[in-house]
Structure 1
């Protein structure tokens, strides 16, 4: 899944502000596994907030790092090639047609 945030001026797309690329998993009946997707999204939020929380840490020097969230978050992400990323951006900005299903 590609999520694209686009800046609009007078209702016209002018630039891509942010891209996020997720891997969706499906159950045996073809439905999105929402539980897994939510776990991955929460793990991404935890990774984003972790540096802020570390500033307020009580100073305990830990030699073992719990990287669970990092691995869960990475399992739900993908990174397109430059060419594909360019096509996604062009489509989001209306510079390229997108076939509708």
Structure 2
């Protein structure tokens, strides 16, 4: 019975990564709005940016080596998608930083 409950409550790693990436995208829009309305140094802006950085670190560390990729169905494709998304987000952040200066 306990094993059955554990199986039903666990979420596949690729799905967790995708959900966290979606959360990062939402937080990116939020921090952009906060920067515009509250300022870059406001404590809420800084806090959201920290959460984004933490989530990005967590996502990039989820599927970190070949052994894990082999164990997770679709792991290699998910990692590629994650890496592309994180790179895109970093580029957009750099671009926004240059535009606001």
Instruction: Specify if TM > 0.5.
Output: no
Higher-helix-fraction structure: 2
Higher-strand-fraction structure: 1
Larger Rg: 1
TM-score under structure 1 normalisation?
0.30
TM-score under structure 2 normalisation?
0.30
